Each structure stands twice: as structure tokens, then as C-alpha cells.
Amino acid sequence: MSWSVDEMCQIAAQMEIKDGQFINLGIGMPTNITNFIPKGINVSFQSENGMLGMGPFPYEGEENADLINAGKQTITELSQSSYFDSAASFAMIRGSHIDLTILGALEVSTTGDLANWAVPGKMIKGMGGAMDLVANIKRVVVLMTHNSKDGSPKLVDKCTLPLTGVGVVDRVITDIGVFDVDHDVIKLIKKADSVSFNEIVQRSSAKIVDAR
């Protein structure tokens, strides 16, 4: 069995979340990481739409439609939450005041290029803040399935989709492994028990070495 979404988020939280960080989570799977913050770790989550210090998702029936994250999911506020306009929000990002971003992706290349905002021929809702995030935040981690629904690899030698950033990804966490980007090589540092290294290589087109 490959890792579930919850297991991927738990791995991301354990490996990446450090006390005192300011963190931006991309829409989709990364938002679930908030459920797995280790005990004793205090961090502040920032959202591009103008909030710092996001609380957990509300229980059913307790939603406030005015409190949403960048993915339009309802969230809660904390006693230390603060609100501001999008100009101030992106000033935080462009000024490199955010320590970590964890994003979804369509493709990541051997050299750490990221494609996550558009598929040619399909409707584009907007590029969001991803380009600013990857260009200015100190550490960029990707959380994604290892393969697309049709089985094609998402960890690739060279991206074929429109790029979000060039050489920006530091680490990739998929449903079968954890990979570090090191210049022109992808290093496997952790894998799901259910898969072999050879299977991971076969399901990728990136250059991968076993660095465990």
C-alpha cells in the first residue's frame, strides 16, 4: 500500500514543521497538514488573502463564511490572528518573511523546476500566489501523488507544463517516497514499505538515486 493523504501530511509535518515558523500551505492536500502538527510545536499559518495565525477547520455547523483561506475553505481564528490587505500579505511573502511553503504540484523536474498552475487546454482559475511563494520563501516543499490518474509520472526529468518556478523545489513528498532535490539529481531519502526502489524509478522519469 502507498501512503494515504493523512500519512503524507503526517510525514510532512514531522519532517518539516519547526517551532516558531511562519508557514504558507497551498490549497488541496497541504491544508490537511494542520491536523498533524507535533505537540509542543507552535507555528503561524499565513494565507495570501490576508490572514496570519489561521486556526483549524471549524466543526460542521460552526463555519463562518467570512473566515476563509486562499482556497476558499472555511477556517477559524485564534486569539493571536491578524488580518490585512493583499498588498501587506504579498509584502510578507516577497520580503521573505515566511519560512516555509508546502504546495501541491502537477510536475517537479530533476533540477527542482515546478509546474503547478496550468494545464494547456483546460480552464485556468488563476495562478494564485504560487509564483511569488516559490520565488521568495526560504524553503519550498511539494506534496503530491507520485503519478497522475492516467499513470504518467509527476516526478519528471523535464517539466512539460507551464512553469511556476525554475530550480525552486527543495523536497518532494509523494505517496511512495520522500525525495530531496540536489542539483541535477533527485535523492530518495525515505520510501513506503510497499514499494521497491526499482518500482519508484520505473514510475518516474526523473534521475533518482537511493540516498537512504
* pLDDT at 136 > cutoff 80: yes
* pLDDT at 150 > cutoff 70: yes
Amino acid found at 113: D
- Tell me which residue range forms the domain holding 110: 5-210
3-state secondary structure of 28: coil
* Residue count of the chain: 212
CA–CA separation, 86 and 57 (whole Å): 22
CA–CA separation, 55 and 123 (whole Å): 31
Query: What is the model's pTM?
Result: 0.94
pLDDT score at 93: 97
Please pick, among 48, 60, 62, 77, the residue that the annotation labels catalytic: 48
pLDDT digits over 14-49, tens only?
Answer: 999 999 999 999 988 999 998 899 899 999 999 999
DSSP count for the chain of H helices, then E strands: 4, 13
CA–CA separation, 34 and 116 (whole Å): 21
Give the CATH number of the domain where residue 54 resides: 3.40.1080.10
The total of structural domains in the chain comes to 1
For residue 48, indicate whether it is catalytic: yes
Amino acid found at 59: Y
pLDDT digits over 155-209, tens only?
Answer: 999 999 999 999 999 999 999 999 999 988 999 999 999 999 999 999 999 999 9
